[in-house]
Structure 1
């Protein structure tokens, strides 16, 4: 082997070691030191796993510490302190703003309402979405509006948001009613098969399928069955991704059984969407949502049903964290936050903070919203079930109207009580879900 080749190989190895050391040790340490000098501290991370081992250990301890009586007791809404005990511990130890690492991903955990206010009012494109959404969770989010940043996100929002304004969403009510009635007829048939009086049902999968059906009909028009197939595959990908922590370098490239299944489903979904888009462009006559965005009598008083939904979203928000990636050094609350840090706001902890919501913060009390969000909480910015600021969920009007239509139609025909088999066990699977399903006793009115 020639000396020049040896020199080239050694140079390449040295360069590789330098970049690995820089990514895994030098950069993270530099950012920690910059924040520590400003009074922001946090648990010491492992060079490769970050604070993931401690997070897992605290969760195991929390589960083991719960007595059998507590598990079997009446429903408690204090689930955030069971699923995320590390956030509670670190707040007590380091304060409402602290730094920790999920693998090699730095998270600035923020429970300080003043900083949350500043993040919510921030209009610059210097705050975007973290890269792990399109990398580690890419098969689920891709480069769409949920995970994109900067000019790409601004372009996507400009196209999509107008199609989800309130007046456009109201035009989708008929298809919401049609989809819901199909589900309710199925429920009636199941009650009939059980004697015609009452039936025990696990309804969470029914409601998840209903939501997918409505979105499929809105997005894909007469091709909604293909849309349903896409949502089914996405649901499988969600379950697979939720079993692996993000932030471990190189994990998504390993040919594990789970990754191979994700890659297969991702390929199938991309192929199906491409075919549907091309078909819709060829047809060009039926105006469904996909085409419009360029291919990509109420039973309860309105206020009352809105209050019930708002309180449910407070206790069980669809987005567990609001995360913003710092694309350029910025200042928030006088603190200089370095580029590359991910600001993480734990939504359920803010929305169940007794200092903000009162002594009954862990109880279901829709009446707290009787005079609107501004009167329900000391800091209205602490209510953020659909996110905050310029990146608030574009589909929030669709979600709220869909909930009101579905609830109204259900309550017109059925009454409910909890089944003795129901066990209240929220679980984190990228979103909060009932781990053992929602089992109800359903009877016709």
Structure 2
């Protein structure tokens, strides 16, 4: 009997694995193929991961040879000129998507492990995804599984009733009227950073060579801490540091390979350790908050919502009170400071590389903000600065992809998307499509936004730096106002150019960031 039970169990396990790894993906792909959608042929266990790696290796080898040849033709430490900076980073970071788009068309399929992906670069199809309000089009399940240590079941990763519940709590705390009330604390935090830069310039002479990335991360962390958590960066420094380390480890992880997230390898062990430590730290912050009295802020809203959970709510939503608190805090810590800090770094890099736009933006700031301290109304009047930020977000969007999963069979435009298929929209490929943005789509030109987003391109809904549809980023107003405060104060106090040591090398670490940071030559602005 024991032998029968054992072999019966093995048979059931085999049939489950066979269905999960072979039959289910095969059915999903077959349904798409019958509708004329093509893509590279996957392997059973890894999907198209080996092919993706080969494409990257070939490109890397070719790029290395080209770089060596270019090095022999140039003097070392030659100052970087704007025209020498290529913004066509999708071709080097996601060459497989570019290759398959050319080979199979604007809508194609591929797979990473057992995850079947429908990649959409067609603007009209993107519009269909944007207009879909059904909860059956949710976030990909790998976000709460493969990316679970970072995102868990927070607002960025969940779907259905869990997401709707979280959005109802978090989004109102980030509406424009509430964000406007945060401007003064943003100014205070930014002013403290700029005073440290002024001291550094004074000690080093007229010009200081500053790698601005870490400073901007600390600044953005301080702002999100004070605005949403009633504390400051120094109190949450370890949490931000560990989330940053977790982000780095996770960016090297391949999603979709069955069982890979359970393997006790070095990177998984590091992720598990960081996840455990971050949870402990956040719960410590929460305990301190409960024991003290604070003004009503986003953390307070999360705590009150968790406090009101009944056992029935926990079962219905499938998430415990502590997990609800920890995961949403992690989501806000990550999304609320990392993306804004990187956007600020890219904005300053582009202004340094394009001094004519730096001068235009500064002239506007000095004219509108005569006493040097911006308020919400002044920020709204800064049209040139808005154009600069919008163009930065076009070339270097905070999120790399819009990701969705069909939780049921769904019709989008003329395509029936099978249940379980992931939809992937590469934002950068839309943002740099010459058919949408014109022949200068790879160039920095804030002028394209002079009449607003609707007039900037042939297809307005192809501009999606904060996502799209009912899942658009809840913190977009906070991000835009924070960027305006930071950039306006820097422009009003400093002139800056790219350091000769700056190397333009965008890198994928869940977001697109400068691999070696952004180094600027900064000097105090002299006003006569």
TM bucket, shorter chain: over 0.9
Is 1:55 the counterpart of 2:52? The answer is yes
SS of residue paired to 2:119? strand
Q: Distance in 2 between matches of 1:186 and 1:52?
A: 46
Range with bigger deviation, 242-251 or 357-366? 242-251
What are the equivalent positions in structure 2 for 1:326-345 lying under 5 Å apart? 326-345=406-425
1:150 equivalent among 144, 153, 160: 160
* 8 A contact 1:242–1:429 mirrored in 2: yes
The match for 2:396 is 316
8 Å CA contact 1:313–1:385 kept in 2: the answer is yes
- Give the one of 185, 206, 211 matched to 1:175: 185
Cα distance in 1 for partners of 2:99, 2:268 equals 33
Q: Post-superposition shift, 1:201?
A: 1.1
State the Cα distance separating 1:429 from its structure 2 match: 0.9
Give the distance between the partners of 2:203 and 2:38, measured in 1 at CA: 60
1:216 maps to 2:232:
no
1:96 is aligned to 2:106: yes
- The answer to whether the 8 Å contact 1:220/1:227 transfers is no
| Structure 1 position 63, deviation (Å) | 2.2
Cα deviation for residue 271 of structure 1 reads 1.6
CA distance in 2 between counterparts of 1:55 and 1:206 reads: 35
> Does 1:26 find its partner at 2:23?
yes
Give 1:298 shift.
Answer: 4.3
Partners of 1:227 and 1:120 in 2: CA distance: 36
With over 3 angstroms needed to count, the CA separation of the structure-2 counterparts of 1:37 and 1:207, relative to structure 1, is: same
1:443 Cα deviation from its structure 2 partner? 0.8
Kept in 2: contact 1:330–1:336 (CA 8 A): yes
Tell me: CA distance 1:222–1:337, structure 2 relative to 1, closer, same or farther (3 Å).
closer
2:146 corresponds in structure 1 to 136
Q: 1:223, CA displacement in angstroms?
A: 5.8
Q: Does the C-alpha gap of structure 1 residues 48 and 115 become closer, same or farther in structure 2, counting only changes over 3 Å? A: same
Please give the alpha-carbon distance, in whole angstroms, between the structure 2 residues aligned to 1:239 and 1:24.
Answer: 29
Q: Is residue 400 of structure 1 aligned with residue 409 of structure 2? A: no
In the alignment, does 2:439 pair up with 1:429? no
The equivalent residue for 1:358 is: 438
Mapping 1:184-263, distance limit 5 Å: 184-195=194-205, 197-222=206-231, 224-263=233-272
1:10 aligned partner: 7
Partner of 1:64: 61
Aligned length: 441
Residue 122 (1) aligns with residue 119 (2) = no
TM-score (norm 1): 0.96
| 1:412 is the counterpart of 2:492 | yes
TM-score in terms of structure 2 length: 0.81
Structure 1 residue 188, shift from structure 2 partner: 1.5
User: Any conservation in 1 of the 2:170–2:298 contact (CA below 8 Å)?
Assistant: no
2:378 alignment partner in structure 1: none
Q: Are the aligned partners of 1:216 and 1:225 in contact in 2 as well (CA < 8 Å)?
A: no
How far 1:41 moved relative to its partner?
Answer: 1.1
Gaps of 5+ in 1: none
CA offset at residue 109 of structure 1?
0.2
Does the CA-based 8 Å contact 1:216-1:228 persist in structure 2?
no
CA distance in 2, matches of 1:193, 1:139: 43
Are the equivalent residues in 1 in contact too, given 2:502–2:518 (CA < 8 A)?
Answer: yes
Provide Cα deviations, 1:155-198, integer angstroms capped at 9, x if missing partner: 11011101000110011111111111121122112212212x00
Q: Partner of 2:225: helix, strand, or coil?
A: helix
Quick one: distance in 2 between partners of 1:56 and 1:161? 39
Deviation >4 Å, runs of 4+: 69-73, 295-298
- Cα distance in structure 2, aligned partners of 1:70 and 1:209: 36
Q: Residues 65-110 of structure 1: CA distance to partner in whole angstroms, max 9, x if unpaired?
A: 2312668881010111111111111111111111100121111000
SS at match of 1:152: helix
> 1:220 offset after TM fit, Å?
2.0
The offset of 1:282, in angstroms, is 3.0
1:412, distance to aligned residue in structure 2 (A): 1.2
CA contact (8 A) 1:139 1:266 kept: yes
**Separation in structure 2 between the aligned mates of residue 365 and residue 120 of structure 1, nearest angstrom:** 26
Higher helix share: 2
Partner of 2:33: 36
Q: In 1, distance between residues paired with 2:495 and 2:111? A: 46
Q: Which residue matches 1:444? A: 524
> Aligned partners of 1:272 and 1:223: how far apart in 2?
15
Question: Shift in Å at residue 208 of structure 1?
Answer: 1.6
Tell me the SS of whatever aligns to 2:145.
coil
